[in-house]
């Protein structure tokens, strides 16, 4: 089952999101990731597998003012780095995490591709930031 964590505030370190994801580990998952923003800088880290792999890719002492994190249980697309959340739009301005299933994502994806949107994953979630 998926888990979501988020933060909006003055300043937090990335280790806050990693610790929050660790509290959700009992739910089971196959990949994880987070997106953070501080001023105009956006950071994105993902990992296939356990949160400890995400920790090795992250700078845990980095600060941010806005962040989302996710543990994923694959429903659309195989467990992989590419299919891990968060997902973003073509301009990397909108980042999302999502629990659940978007039943009509194939039709939405086909529509968006005709409008020149580029997709990276096999997930249903990726259509959200493109919309």
pLDDT tens for each residue of 20-76: 999 988 878 899 999 999 988 999 999 999 999 999 989 889 999 999 999 998 888
DSSP strands (E only) in 1-131: 3-13, 31-38, 41-48, 63-72, 87-88, 95-96
Q: Is the pLDDT of residue 1 over 80?
A: no
Cα 25 from Cα 51, distance rounded (Å) = 8
pLDDT score of 64: 95
pLDDT score of 26: 80
């Amino acid at each position: 089952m998926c888990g979501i964590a988020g933060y909006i505030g003055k300043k937090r370190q990335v280790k806050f999101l990693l610790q929050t994801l660790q509290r959700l580990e009992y739910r089971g998952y196959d990949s994880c990731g987070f997106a953070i923003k501080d001023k105009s800088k956006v950071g994105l880290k993902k990992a296939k597998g356990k949160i400890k792999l995400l920790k090795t890719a992250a700078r845990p002492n980095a600060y941010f003012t806005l962040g989302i994190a996710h543990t994923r249980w694959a429903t659309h697309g195989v467990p992989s780095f590419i299919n891990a959340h968060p997902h973003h739009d073509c301009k990397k301005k909108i980042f999302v995490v999502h629990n659940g299933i978007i039943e009509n994502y194939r039709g939405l994806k086909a529509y968006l591709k005709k409008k020149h949107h580029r997709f990276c994953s096999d997930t249903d979630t990726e259509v959200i930031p493109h919309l």
